[in-house]
Chains A and B, each alone.
Chain A
Amino acid sequence: MDFALTEEQQFFKKIITDTVDRMVVPKAREIDEKDEFPWELWKDFTKLGYLGLRYPEEIGGMNADPVTAMIFYEQIARGSVGFAQSVIMNILMGTYFVYRFGSEEIKKRCLYPAMKGEKVATMCFTEDQSGSDLAATRTTAVKDGNEWVINGTKMWITNGPHADIATVLATTDPSLGAKGLNFFLVEKGTPGFSPGQIIDKLGCRGTVTGELVFDNVRIPEENLLGAELNKGVEYLAEILDEVRVMTAAMAMGIAQAAYDEGLEYARKRIAFGKTIGNYQLIRAKFADMATEMEASRLLIYSAAWKIKEKLPSRLEAGMAKMFATETCLKVVDEVTRIWGANAFANEYNPQRHFRDARFLLYGGGTHEILKDFLGRMLIGKS
């Protein structure tokens, strides 16, 4: 068993770490405070080609393997989770279905510009009354001649108000439950497609999350993103593991950023005549944090490696998402304790990490749902 990163992966890690330190870290606080899409940073950063991270070189991508992609997700989230969420949406969920099923025409119009940052992409699952329970999706797609007519409202949509292209989950037959779900491409400017309210939220600020309204939106037949009808859930399953491990990698990014702050503080803050890093209760926190972060990364890289090798990874991806996110929550909690009252002063970063970490609990399945799902896989259906 070989745990080492390849030379290429190590090189990639160094480059992206430096890039994030230089371009993203200095902007993180401003992104959080303003809670606006950071257009300027977006333009500068996307020039570097990272939005094509997962896609083949022939179409201008970087052809990165899943392990390399995880390195990227972690580093960008270490810089700013608000910015990372927007970037990763373009890299993965927002473009996957277009890449996989779009016609050449659609790819030219949507995918290639999205890989260059010229178009902002998003993915719309969630509705006001349904999240992890996909089968409860109420947005409908009805065939009318050679067009689809989409009706419904989506909520919690990353990049929602700025999205140029949206991959929308809708049911073509509500009586079929999850088996009636399909993905459709809806482009900005299509009549009836409009942004609704923006959600003012606790963490992951800077990525604008909002409602999208589909009111009799007519799209051509070819905008059904799928080789066959009613296979949406199966297609989603193709990237589900990657999405979950990606979330785990983002969790490590936040955890690392917080941990570094904690370390610096423990080394310089003095109480009772010694730096607080001299006290056992503080040292124990670092021992626990570092152990759990190491374990998280092993779960992440091993799940990513399985995805790369096309080995079964459903269980491992769920474990990685849950364990890394819980570790992240613990780290941001402990770091705020290490920082004492300074941890809730807005002028320092620990309070931002503490808020940001919550964002990772929900996407890719809440931990309550993941636990139930993993348990069911392990016990088997009776």
Chain B
Amino acid sequence: MLERLARPFADAIDKSDNFPKGLFEELGRLGYYGLRYPEELGGMDADCTTFTIFAEELARASMGLAAIATMQCLMGTDFIYRFGSDDQKKRCLIPAIQGEKIGTIAFTEPDCGSDLGGIRTRAVKNDKGYIIIGRKLWITNGDVADFVTVAASTDPDKRLGGIGFFLVEKGTPGFSVGQKIEKISARGAATVELIFDECQVPAENLMGEEGKGAQYLNDILSEIRIMIAGLGLGLAKSAFSAGLRYAREREAFGRPIGEFQLIQEKIAEMEVRIKAAEFLTYHAAWLKDKGSLTGKEAAMAKLYSTETACFVVDEVSRIHGAYGLAEEYPAQRYFRDGRFLLFGGGTSEILKTIIARDTMKKSDFDIT
């Protein structure tokens, strides 16, 4: 479906770096934003495996669209689904599932990313609810979002223990869009700055309880990581196909370059790593569906799959020779898009420390 619907537009989405409104709405009409949500809400009630397949196929078509759509399916709407009032669900979640409203989540700030405890955005309680003050950066869909789930601290001294998530809707006084970040990857999914200048929200816009934000986020963190692992797989497969095609067509020294051993080595290495990434990713999704996932499996899937994607896009650009630089071929887009996967959901460096710390706690015989 995405092959037909989105893939032909991947280049145009990348070049224009504009929000693909038509495609976004089309996916909504087809019901995909409700993949993870129950049928009563207009969702598909799909399991993590199915959602991962969706992420993979999205990324295979267009990383820009994938960033937009996965935000809508997961991080941008999940807190409202879990903690929103009926009224908020009616106003935000259900239209978002239908593709009529756009949701996003805002963690990152200019000076903190993976270190969530370092956020400076404040939520100050008053008699009307909370006043949100701060700036967020790198917010996917931020310029088109109708509602945002914002991480803010009610007690900065408590670091992670002071964080809560707050729903802020478009039109709320003090809420505005700042600069747009021009970037090399996942173009089409605008990443922008959001400014909260004494933004008053009612008490019910606190999603869940004060100070429990980090815990709530942790509930979906593994799912986010598996989803990004799916994006890595999609990108890797898409690039791999392009490399294969070129290796079959391009001739040097009187033979297709695919007949040379050094090119064959690349093909074999890429295929093996993609396969391994696929197993790690879908194994983690399967564990999630069985209810026995630990954070480590999701971290391993995200680490390995995204690193594989970066390896594959590198090798594919080498197979293309100088054409790996030319805008008329997709190899350069894959190469740029690969970087997008390295940071969200935890950098590779942070994931490695998570995996290692977990392993260090275990005795030798239960290392799997």
Enumerate chain A interface residues (CB-CB to B < 8 A): 126, 129-133, 135-136, 156, 199-204, 269-273, 279, 281-282, 329, 333, 336-337, 340-341, 343-347, 351, 354-355, 358-359, 361-362, 366-368, 371-372
Contact = CB atoms under 8 A, between A and B. Distances in A.
Given A337-B349, A354-B339, A359 B253 contact: no
A133 B344 CA distance: 42
A366 B184 contact: no
Contacts of B184: 344, 346, 351, 354-355
B232 to A, nearest CB: 15
A204 B263 CA distance: 25
B339 A336 contact: yes
B326 A201 contact: yes
Interface stretch (B34-42, B44-52, B236-244, B327-335): B327-335
B342 interface: yes
A270 B339 contact: no
Contacts of B173: none
A203 B324 CA distance: 10
A1 B340 CA distance: 47
A137 to B, nearest CB: 12
A310 to B, nearest CB: 31
B343 to A, nearest CB: 4
Contacts of B165: none
A271 B118 contact: yes
B322 interface: yes
Nearest to B261: A372
B328 A133 contact: no
A200 B327 contact: yes
Contact of B321 (A131, A136, A336): A131
12 contacts: A126-B322, A201-B332, A202-B324, A203-B325, A344-B183, A346-B184, A358-B324, A361-B317, A361-B324, A362-B322, A368-B318, A372-B262
Contact of A202 (B321, B325, B347): B325
Given A201-B326, A333-B310, A361-B318, 13 more contacts: A129-B251, A133-B253, A203-B325, A269-B111, A271-B115, A281-B353, A337-B342, A340-B343, A341-B343, A351-B183, A358-B325, A371-B262, A372-B260
B316 to A, nearest CB: 12
A272 B318 contact: no
A204 B325 CA distance: 9
B341 to A, nearest CB: 11
B318 A199 contact: no
A345 B252 CA distance: 37
Contacts of A329: 314
A180 to B, nearest CB: 16
Contacts of A359: 325
Interface residues of B, number: 45
B318 A367 contact: yes
A279 B183 CA distance: 27
Contacts of A368: 260, 262-263, 318
B113 interface: yes
Given A281-B352, A346-B184, A358-B324, A341 B113 contact: yes
B118 A272 contact: yes
B12 interface: no
Contacts of A355: 184, 336
Nearest to B340: A344
A185 B250 CA distance: 29
Nearest to B322: A362
A261 to B, nearest CB: 15
Contact of B117 (A200, A272, A358, A372): A272
A212 to B, nearest CB: 15
B182 interface: yes
Given A271-B114, A368-B260, A362 B339 contact: no
Nearest to B332: A202
A371 B263 CA distance: 12
B252 A136 contact: yes
Contacts of B77: none
Given A202-B332, A202-B335, A347-B181, A133 B325 contact: no
A150 B343 CA distance: 52
Contacts of B317: 358, 361
A273 B116 CA distance: 11
B112 interface: yes
A246 B251 CA distance: 28
B328 A346 contact: no
A370 B278 CA distance: 33
Nearest to A367: B318
A371 B260 CA distance: 12
A204 B108 CA distance: 31
Interface in B150-172: none
B181 A201 contact: no
Contact of A199 (B108, B326, B336, B343): B326
B175 interface: no
Given A129-B251, A270-B118, A281-B353, A202 B327 contact: yes
